[in-house]
Amino acid sequence: MNEGKKKYPVKKYYAKYYQTHKKQRHEATTKYIHKIRNKAIECLGEKCSNPDCLVPGGCKDSRCLQIDHIYGNGNHDNRKSSAYYNQVMKSFKKGEKKYQLLCANCNWIKRCENKEYLKTIGVPLL
């Protein structure tokens, strides 16, 4: 049907567009990821779920809150993408208990106690 017509170089157009609008695209993407991260945090209760948290009542500062894989093995996920936060929210809505919110202190204490950090840096567990 469109024989003889030259294809519009869409790929080239977007590559050029991205180069000329790099800063705006980066800001928009960062803003979107922050928004979707906050939604995921809202789904998970907006506070550290460790009952022994050092902050009375559980830390509620979103800057310190981290999404933790309850059973470990979270180091394969790409946590900087919006797809990760969508995955967390989907899992929560399905009722799976795979993720929880922990503050940075509680998350690292859990990682040390369960020796999860050794898997991340490639040290074999004894």
List of residues contacting Zn ion (CB under 5 A): 48, 50, 53, 59, 103, 106
> What is d(CA 99, CA 84) in angstroms, rounded to the nearest whole number?
12
CB neighbours (10 Å) of residue 1?
A: 3
Residue 55: CB minimum distance to Zn ion, A: 6
44/103 with CB nearer Zn ion = 103
> CA 116, CA 110: separation in Å to the nearest integer?
8
Dist CA 97 CA 2 (whole Å): 52
* Choice between 36 and 59, CB closer to Zn ion: 59
Q: What is the smallest separation between the CB atom of 112 and Zn ion, expressed in angstroms?
A: 14
The CB-of-50 to Zn ion minimum distance in angstroms stands at 5
Q: Which is nearer to Zn ion, 35 or 97 (CB)?
A: 97
- φ/ψ of 48, rounded to 5, equals -60, 130
